[in-house]
């Protein structure tokens, strides 16, 4: 058994505001604002709600939701619509980083950083989008088609936890 399995995963539950959204090569394929809310569903599952606003098209639909499962060897995202995402969490700074691979001609990569916040969400567009993602996550039709989150596959995409640097006295 590896060392990671012997220590519990850091607690991601909470709210996060977009701190930066950049792309390589530089483009407008990024967010002007965003919010992530991570909720504990049961002892092994999390719900990640994401509401955002696109830089180039502020009124366009922008948001998503993901389920994650805690296992002995880590915390995994659902194996559905997550192939182009990588998530990293730094427990020391409580920053969540999402790296997204684009399918455009330039093969863009977006790098989004979210910082933990305790401030209530007051932006009306983000509030509306967050409510929509919450409704989508618990939608009866999604449940019928994809099954309950407890029965889904969580194999291919682990949320990586950044290790704190070790200092010697």
State the DSSP string of 85-143: EEEEEETTTTEEEEEEE--STT--EEEEEEEEE-SPP--HHHHHHHHHHHHHHT-HHHH
Buried b vs exposed e over 39-76: b needs ≥16 C-beta within 10 Å? eeeeeebbbbbbbbbbeeeeeeebbbbbbbbbeeebbb
Instruction: Give tens-digit pLDDT for 86-105.
Output: 999 999 999 999 999 987 77
Q: How does pLDDT run across 127-168, given as a tens digit for each residue?
A: 999 999 999 999 999 889 999 999 999 999 999 998 754 444
Q: Is the pLDDT of residue 1 over 50?
A: no
DSSP state of 66: E
Phi, psi of 101 (to 5 degrees): -95, 130
CATH number of 3-154: 2.40.128
pLDDT score for 168:
43
Q: Strand 109-117 to strand 74-77: parallel, antiparallel, or no bridges (unpaired)?
A: unpaired
Q: What is the pLDDT of residue 29?
A: 84
Mean residue pLDDT of the chain comes to 89
* pLDDT the model gives residue 106: 80
Phi, psi of 108, deg, nearest 5: -60, 155
Q: Is the pLDDT of residue 121 over 60?
A: yes
């Amino acid at each position: 058994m590896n060392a990671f399995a012997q220590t519990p995963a850091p607690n991601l539950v909470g709210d996060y505001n977009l701190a930066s959204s950049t792309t390589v090569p530089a483009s407008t394929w990024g967010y002007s604002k965003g919010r992530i809310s991570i909720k504990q569903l049961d002892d092994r599952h999390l719900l990640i709600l994401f509401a955002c606003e696109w830089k180039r098209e502020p009124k366009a639909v922008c948001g998503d939701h993901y389920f994650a499962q805690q296992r002995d060897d880590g915390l995994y995202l659902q194996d559905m619509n997550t192939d182009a995402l990588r998530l990293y969490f730094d427990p020391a700074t409580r920053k969540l980083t999402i790296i997204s691979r684009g399918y455009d001609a330039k093969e863009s990569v977006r790098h989004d950083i979210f910082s933990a916040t305790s401030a209530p969400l007051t932006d009306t567009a983000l509030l509306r989008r967050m409510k929509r993602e919450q409704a989508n996550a618990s939608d009866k039709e999604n449940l019928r088609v994809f099954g309950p989150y407890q029965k889904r596959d969580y194999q291919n995409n682990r949320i990586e936890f950044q290790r704190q640097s070790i200092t010697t006295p």
